[in-house]
Amino acid sequence: MRRTIDWVKGAVEIIDQVALPGEYRTLRLSTVDELIDAIRRLAVRGAPALGGAGALGTALAAFAHDDPAAVRDDAARLANARPTAVNLGWGVARALSRLAEGPDAVLAEALALLDEDERLNREASARATELILQHCERRPLRLLTHCNAGRLATVGWGTALGVVWHLQAAGHLEYVLADETRPLLQGARLTAWELAEAGVPHRVLPDSAAASAMARGMVDCVVVGADRISANGDVANKIGTYGLALAAARHGLPFVVVAPSSTVDPELPSGESIVIEERAPEEITTFSGIPVTPPGTEVFNPAFDVTPADLITAVVTEKGPMVPGNPICRFPDFLR
């Protein structure tokens, strides 16, 4: 699997996720401003991938400036490019921790973070696969997922879709149902592209059809990624995740979150403290640049919602599952 984000000959190279599925192309980003623009317009997205972007962007700043204060200013702008995904600021801080050693050390730390992300997401998704197989008697399994939590959302493997790769390899997967994920269609554009590329049987469905699919017995388990996880196990993920968790609870289905431990924010006691990014109204009021609402229509367009821990079967990181209500698996002790 080609990396979603990498360092190539002195610049950050990303797969341009805005172009998919119509065109596969890469972008070469040579400045922090170019990287910030790519992050804001979602050319690179997904919490783990944003962690890599934060680290590599800090390396760009370190090579661009002799003044440490200027590097820190660029790093601060980069960390604030999107507010909800904790990995972005985490990646910046990790690379910045070696600034005193010079730009080569900053880059070395960023590259180590990339390698680590691939390894930890493989481990987290393998642990989640084991847990799902324990919870689901039926074989082969029918999974439902939301947004995109595959290799495009990470450095090179995936979280929720990492489970799909493991199950497919073991012969335990029948198909995947991928929510289209309104309004930017990350499921229809990106998840379906990854599944097709990997030869995984799948169907795309409207977000509003997910509960109906559960009621018809078409789903054995819901598996999603995360952008930020609070200390009590509440999870911020793409808007619509909360509704899926409610529907899964109604139908007695496991609801599993897969993420690297870097997505856990132990400083936040609960999901109520998570800052939710609100996106531009035009994402709702237009489609492919064509207005679809009356002029002057007001919009509520949060990019994420928060799923309470009591609706989650388990949050699984590379360290294993955190089960809400289980005192031996509570955050933040779980991360030590």
Residue 42 exposure: Cα atoms within 13 Å on the Cβ side: 17
pLDDT at residue 294 greater than cutoff 50 = yes
The 10s digit of each residue's pLDDT in 194-246 is 999 999 999 999 999 999 999 999 999 999 999 999 999 999 999 999 999 99
pTM: 0.92
Of the candidates 6, 74, 207, 227, the residue annotated as catalytic is 227
Residues 6+ apart with CB under 8 A from 208: none
230 within 8 A of 332, measured Cβ to Cβ: no
Q: Give the C-alpha separation, 331 to 325, whole Å.
A: 11
Torsion angle of alpha carbons 115, 117, 123, 127, nearest 10°? Answer: 180
Query: What 3-state DSSP class applies to 206?
Result: coil
Q: How confident is the model at residue 258 (pLDDT cuts 50, 70, 90)?
A: very high
Annotated catalytic residue 227: yes
Q: Give the C-alpha separation, 38 to 160, whole Å.
A: 24
Query: What 3-state DSSP class applies to 45?
Result: coil
The 10s digit of each residue's pLDDT in 244-254 is 999 999 999 99
Which three-class secondary structure string do you get for 223-254?
Answer: EECCCEEECCCCEEEECCHHHHHHHHHHCCCC
- Helices first, then strands: H and E counts in the chain: 11, 16
Residues 6+ apart with CB under 8 A from 241: 146, 147, 224, 235, 304, 305, 307
Q: Give the C-alpha separation, 210 to 230, whole Å.
A: 26
Q: How confident is the model at residue 133 (pLDDT cuts 50, 70, 90)?
A: very high
Q: Give the C-alpha separation, 4 to 153, whole Å.
A: 8
Token pair of 146, please?
Answer: 């939301």
Query: What 3-state DSSP class applies to 267?
Result: coil
